[in-house]
């Protein structure tokens, strides 16, 4: 059995096990970003992999996707409160 804190950290690591998820969460931890901004900031990620990563994080409730009804379409991504709390756990886990 694991303690509550270690279970939460293990759950977080399961969700963020790949490098792309960690990078996306790191950039979104500093504020809202558009898809193109994320794609430029994460040099080596393909558009397809960024899309899949964002969908995965959104499905898990860590990222919120907001579509603005403008032409051309504008989509913003930001961490949810759950995402922010998980990032805080990850940062605390690094200090131990």
Instruction: Give the pLDDT confidence of 41-63 residue by residue, as tens digits.
Output: 998 999 999 999 999 999 989 99
Task: Give the pLDDT score at 76.
Answer: 96
pLDDT of 26 above 50: yes
pLDDT of 96 above 50: no
Task: Look up tokens 């131990």; give the residue.
Answer: 96
Task: Give the pLDDT score at 28.
Answer: 93
- Give the closest residue to 17 by CA, choosing from 61, 66, 57, 65: 57
> Cα dist. 4→1, 8, 21, 70 in Å?
9, 6, 23, 44
Look up the CATH number of domain 4-95. 1.10.10.10
pTM: 0.76
Q: How far is residue 49's CA from residue 75's CA, in Å, rounded to a whole number?
A: 17
Ordered DSSP codes for 47-66? HHHHHHHHHHHHHTTSEEEE
pLDDT of 15 above 70: no
């Amino acid at each position: 059995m694991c303690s509550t804190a270690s279970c939460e950290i293990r759950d977080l690591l399961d969700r963020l096990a790949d490098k792309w998820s960690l990078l996306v969460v790191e950039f979104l931890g500093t504020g809202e970003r558009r898809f193109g901004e994320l794609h430029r900031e994460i040099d080596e990620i393909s558009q397809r992999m960024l899309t899949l990563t964002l969908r995965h994080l959104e499905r898990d409730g860590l990222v919120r996707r907001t579509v603005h009804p403008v032409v051309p379409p504008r989509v913003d991504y930001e961490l949810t409160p759950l995402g922010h709390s998980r990032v805080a756990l990850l940062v605390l886990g690094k200090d131990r």
